[in-house]
Structure 1
Amino acid sequence: MTDQPQILSDLGLYSPPLAVRGMIELDKAAFTQTVKVPAIHVPTNVLNKVVKSLKKVVLQRPGIKRVLEVNNKDESSTCEHRLVLLDPSSITSTDSFGNEEAAALKAFGVPQEIQRYELKLTYENLKSDEILRAVLPEGQDVTSGFSRVGHIAHMNLRDHQIPFGKLIGQVIMDKNPGITCVVNKTNTIDSTYRNFQMEVLAGEDNMVAKVRENGMFYEFDFSRVYWNPRLSTEHERIVSFLQRGDIVIDVFAGVGPFAIPAARRGCNILANDLNPESFRWLQHNGKLNKVDKKITSFNMDGRDFIRGPVKERLPALMKGSQKIHVVMNLPALALEFLDAFRDLLEPDQSVSCQDNLPQVHCYGFSKEEDPQRDIVERAGASLRNSLEGQCSVHMVRNVSPNKEMMCVSFTLPKEVLYTQHTQDRDSSEEPCPKKQKCEEQTD
Structure 2
Amino acid sequence: MAQSPHNEAKPLLYRAPPEVRGMVSLDRDAFTQTIVIPSIRVPKGVLNKVVKSLRRAIVQRPGIPRVVQDKENGSDEDDLRLVLLDPLRVSSPSSFNEAEAEALRSFGVPQELQYYNLQLRYSNLKTEEVLEAVLPEGQEITSAFSRVGHIAHMNLRDHQMPFKNLIGQVIMDKNPGVSCVVNKTNMIDNTYRNFKMELLAGEENMVAKVKENGASYEFDFSRVYWNPRLSTEHMRMVQEVKRGDALLDVFAGVGPFAIPAARAGATVLANDLNPESHRWLQHNVKINKVAAMVRTFNLDGRAFIRGPVRQELPALLQANAGVHIVMNLPALALEFLDSFRGLLGREPSCDANLPIVYCYGFSKDDDPERDMVEKASDSLGVSLEGRCSVYFVRNVAPNKDMMCVRFAVPKEVLFSTDQTEPKEEPAPKRQKCGETTD
Map of 1:140-219 to 2, 5 A cutoff?
Answer: 140-190=139-189, 192-219=191-218
Equivalent in the alignment of 1:25: 25
CA distance, structure 1, for counterparts of residue 57 and residue 325 of structure 2? 54
TM-score by length of 1: 0.90
2:65 pairs with 1:65: yes
The change in CA–CA distance for 1:8 and 1:285 in structure 2 (over 3 A counts) is farther
The change in CA–CA distance for 1:296 and 1:54 in structure 2 (over 3 A counts) is same
- CA shift at 1:73, angstroms? 3.1
- CA shift at 1:9, angstroms? 5.8
CA distance, structure 1, for counterparts of residue 8 and residue 342 of structure 2? 70
CA distance, structure 2, for counterparts of residue 270 and residue 9 of structure 1? 63
Q: What letter corresponds to residue 392 of structure 2 in structure 1?
A: M
- CA shift at 1:352, angstroms? 2.6
- CA shift at 1:13, angstroms? 5.3
Instruction: State the secondary structure of the residue aligned to 2:218.
Output: strand
2:367 pairs with 1:370: yes
- CA shift at 1:351, angstroms? 3.0
2:252 pairs with 1:253: yes
The change in CA–CA distance for 1:79 and 1:118 in structure 2 (over 3 A counts) is closer
Equivalent in the alignment of 2:416: 419
Map of 1:216-295 to 2, 5 A cutoff?
Answer: 216-295=215-294
Over residues 367-390 of structure 1, what are the superposed CA-to-partner deviations in whole Å (9 max), with x where a residue is unaligned? Answer: 122212211221112112222222
CA distance, structure 1, for counterparts of residue 224 and residue 346 of structure 2? 39
- CA shift at 1:265, angstroms? 0.5
2:380 pairs with 1:383: yes
The change in CA–CA distance for 1:361 and 1:229 in structure 2 (over 3 A counts) is same
- CA shift at 1:102, angstroms? 1.5
The change in CA–CA distance for 1:26 and 1:80 in structure 2 (over 3 A counts) is same
CA distance, structure 2, for counterparts of residue 8 and residue 263 of structure 1? 61
Deviating above 6 A after TM superposition, structure 1's stretches of 4 or more consecutive aligned residues are: none
CA distance, structure 1, for counterparts of residue 190 and residue 52 of structure 2? 54
The change in CA–CA distance for 1:403 and 1:13 in structure 2 (over 3 A counts) is farther
Equivalent in the alignment of 2:431: none
Q: What letter corresponds to residue 161 of structure 2 in structure 1?
A: I
The change in CA–CA distance for 1:408 and 1:11 in structure 2 (over 3 A counts) is farther
CA distance, structure 1, for counterparts of residue 106 and residue 6 of structure 2? 33
Instruction: State the secondary structure of the residue aligned to 2:311.
Output: helix
TM-score by length of 2: 0.91
Contact 1:6 1:35 in 2 (8 A): no
CA distance, structure 2, for counterparts of residue 342 and residue 404 of structure 1? 27
Over residues 253-296 of structure 1, what are the superposed CA-to-partner deviations in whole Å (9 max), with x where a residue is unaligned? Answer: 00000001100101000100000000000000000000012111
Instruction: State the secondary structure of the residue aligned to 1:293.
Output: coil
CA distance, structure 2, for counterparts of residue 11 and residue 284 of structure 1? 53
The change in CA–CA distance for 1:12 and 1:416 in structure 2 (over 3 A counts) is farther
Equivalent in the alignment of 1:121: 120
Over residues 159-178 of structure 1, what are the superposed CA-to-partner deviations in whole Å (9 max), with x where a residue is unaligned? Answer: 11111010000000000000
- CA shift at 1:353, angstroms? 3.9
2:386 pairs with 1:394: no
Contact 2:143 2:171 in 1 (8 A): yes
Q: What letter corresponds to residue 141 of structure 1 in structure 2?
A: E
- CA shift at 1:85, angstroms? 0.7
Instruction: State the secondary structure of the residue aligned to 2:305.
Output: helix
Equivalent in the alignment of 1:309: 308
CA distance, structure 1, for counterparts of residue 350 and residue 91 of structure 2? 79
The change in CA–CA distance for 1:388 and 1:100 in structure 2 (over 3 A counts) is farther
CA distance, structure 2, for counterparts of residue 182 and residue 7 of structure 1? 38
CA distance, structure 1, for counterparts of residue 8 and residue 390 of structure 2? 50
- CA shift at 1:308, angstroms? 1.3
CA distance, structure 2, for counterparts of residue 397 and residue 103 of structure 1? 48
CA distance, structure 2, for counterparts of residue 417 and residue 319 of structure 1? 14
Q: What letter corresponds to residue 375 of structure 1 in structure 2?
A: M
- CA shift at 1:401, angstroms? 2.3
Equivalent in the alignment of 2:48: 48
Over residues 144-173 of structure 1, what are the superposed CA-to-partner deviations in whole Å (9 max), with x where a residue is unaligned? Answer: 110000000001101111110100000000
CA distance, structure 1, for counterparts of residue 115 and residue 73 of structure 2? 16
CA distance, structure 1, for counterparts of residue 123 and residue 7 of structure 2? 19
Contact 2:9 2:37 in 1 (8 A): no
Q: What letter corresponds to residue 58 of structure 2 in structure 1?
A: V
The change in CA–CA distance for 1:251 and 1:45 in structure 2 (over 3 A counts) is same
The change in CA–CA distance for 1:247 and 1:8 in structure 2 (over 3 A counts) is farther
Instruction: State the secondary structure of the residue aligned to 1:287.
Output: helix
The change in CA–CA distance for 1:159 and 1:369 in structure 2 (over 3 A counts) is same
**Gap runs ≥5 in structure 2:** 419-438
Q: What letter corresponds to residue 308 of structure 1 in structure 2?
A: G
CA distance, structure 2, for counterparts of residue 368 and residue 374 of structure 1? 6
Instruction: State the secondary structure of the residue aligned to 1:40.
Output: strand
Over residues 306-333 of structure 1, what are the superposed CA-to-partner deviations in whole Å (9 max), with x where a residue is unaligned? Answer: 1111111111111111100000110111
Q: What letter corresponds to residue 374 of structure 1 in structure 2?
A: D
Equivalent in the alignment of 1:107: 106
CA distance, structure 2, for counterparts of residue 127 and residue 374 of structure 1? 43
The worse-fitting range, judged by mean Cα deviation, of 358-367 and 106-115 is 106-115
The change in CA–CA distance for 1:198 and 1:145 in structure 2 (over 3 A counts) is same
Map of 1:316-355 to 2, 5 A cutoff?
Answer: 316-348=315-347, 350-354=348-352
CA distance, structure 1, for counterparts of residue 162 and residue 145 of structure 2? 18
CA distance, structure 1, for counterparts of residue 328 and residue 314 of structure 2? 23
Q: What letter corresponds to residue 44 of structure 2 in structure 1?
A: T
| Structure showing greater relative contact order (alpha-carbon pairs closer than 8 Å, 6 or more residues apart) | 2
Equivalent in the alignment of 1:133: 132
CA distance, structure 2, for counterparts of residue 332 and residue 222 of structure 1? 20
The worse-fitting range, judged by mean Cα deviation, of 66-75 and 334-343 is 66-75
